Amino acid sequence: MERIALLKNLTEAFGISGYEEDVLNILKKNFVGQDTLTKDRIGSIIAKKVGKSEKPKIMFAAHMDEVGFMVKEITKEGFIKFIPIGGWWVGNLPGLRVKIKTKKGEYIPGVIGSKPIHELSPEERKNLPKVEDLYIDVGATKNFNVKEKFGIKPGDPVVPETEFIPLGNSDLYMAKAWDDRVGCGLLIELLNNLTATEHPNTVYLAGTVQEEVGLRGAKTAAYAIAPDIGFALDVSICRDTPGNDAEAVEKLGGGVGILIYDRTMIPHSKLKDFVCELAEQNNIPYHFTSIKGGYDTGSIHLTNFGVPCLALGVPSRYVHSGATIISLEDYENVLNLITLIVKNLDTETLQQII
């Protein structure tokens, strides 16, 4: 599938944590024909690509889930109270267009509502609203019973309603769920690159579930794979917008984001050095970055006796909101780097790393 069409399909797919089926089906379609294709009991999918050697076993993980919401309850007036799934800043919520997926598979459009500014007291205007005071409006009126008309129930998943679009700068694309459909796209394109290339190892491509609520799918997938080396493919943070350091290296067009710290893992230093040397030898731009959140490698690196791991990111603006922006140039640089990693990471190199 052509890249833009693939990324559009992935980002527009519906899939909060625990409801990743639509994304899984896209990966499954693109993984068909590999040596083995398995699915664990909580929903992660793993494709195995055998090279010239069974080892080292290299795991690339990208999570299929996106941040969103879950229906908590429906008020007697027909408004929908919700639970945030994943990390949300409440300031991004009022006015956000969303859609709810019912048990029947129907999509119900709505908007997150709040008290209008005209009705806020001077004191209320000083503070952000509380999530419990917000609600989703799907068209409730006195004579329109939302429960009966739509069949919406507690537990139904909700995602932002955002179209995948190119911006005026043709290298930049805006969509929901780049976190982490960008990683899912990289898994598919890495596999395409390896199909016609010999590599001295065996590669496992894992589309994981429930990363946004605790790196859960990565834990079960890594247990199934027992990798020798692990990588998370995800977004990294841009710091190139107003209010940040004007000289920040974490920017659109900044190349591969190499994580030196997150709250779940400090990367393996020798693996990091190996990847940086590869990037430098092949003129692939990169920068070091950190984040207060975590990546799938936070679970992978604790598997069995330990797994050297590194997280690689595509720099992204406005992560964990209804619309995020990435650069296709950065995406291409990450793809080129991970392809080189697979071509060069043999048993001898593994021994030097560990």
Residues carrying an active site annotation: 211
- Measured N-to-C along each axis, helices 21-31 and 3-12 cross at an angle, to the nearest 10 degrees, of 150
Cβ-contact 190, 339 below 8 angstroms? yes
- At residue 44's C-alpha, the angle toward residues 43 and 50, to 5°, is 140
**Distance set, CA 207 to CA 93, 144, 337 (Å):** 28, 41, 19
Q: In degrees rounded to 5, what are phi and psi of residue 194?
A: -80, -20
Q: Among candidates 125, 299, 325, which has minimal Cα distance to 214?
A: 299
For 108-143, give one letter per residue: b (16+ CB within 10 A) or e: bebebbbeeeeeeeeeeeeeebebeebbbebebeee
CA 90 to CA 114: how far, in whole Å?
11
Cβ-contact 81, 132 below 8 angstroms? yes
